[in-house]
Amino acid sequence: MVVYVRNTLSRAYIHKEIKRPPCRKVYMQLEEASIAELQAAMDSGRLTARQLTEDYIERIQQFDQQGPHLRSVLEINPEALEIADALDEERRNMGPRGPLHGIPILLKDNIATADQMETTAGSLALLGSRPRRDATVAHKLREAGAILLGKTNLSEWANFRSDASSSGWSGRGGQTRNPYVLNRTPCGSSSGSGTAIAANLAAAALGTETDGSILCPSAVSCLVGIKPTVDLTSRAGVVPIAHSQDTVGPMARTVADAAALLSAITGPDELDPASHENPHPGAIDYTKFLDDNGLKGARIGVARDVYFGYSARADAIIEEAIEQLRSLGAEIIDPTNIPTARQMSESQSEMIVLLHEFKADLNSYLADLESSPVRSLEEIIAFNKAHAAKELPYFGQELLLRAQETVGLDAPTYLHALEENHRFSRQEGIDAIMEQHNLDALIMPTGAPAWCIDVIDGDHPLGGSSQPAALAGYPAITVPAGFVFELPVGLTFMGRAYSEATLIRLAYAFEQGTHARRAPKYLDTIEVK
Catalytic residue numbers read: 108, 189, 213
CA gap 298, 330 in Å, rounded:
5
The DSSP string of 365-386 is HHHHSSB-S--SHHHHHHHHHH
- Show Cβ contacts of residue 113 under 8 Å, excluding neighbours closer than 6 positions: 77, 107, 119, 131, 134, 135, 138, 148, 151
Our CA dihedral for 517, 518, 523, 528, rounded to 10 degrees, sits at -70
Which amino acid, 347? S
CA gap 382, 66 in Å, rounded:
35
β-partners of residue 525 are none
Three-state secondary-structure class, residue 478: strand
Three-state secondary-structure class, residue 400: helix
Phi, psi (degrees; rounded to nearest 5) at 191: -70, -45
Among 263, 196, 159, residue whose Cα is nearest residue 501: 263
Contact 215, 199 (CB under 8 A): no
Contact 256, 34 (CB under 8 A): yes
Among 88, 101, 118, residue whose Cα is nearest residue 13: 118
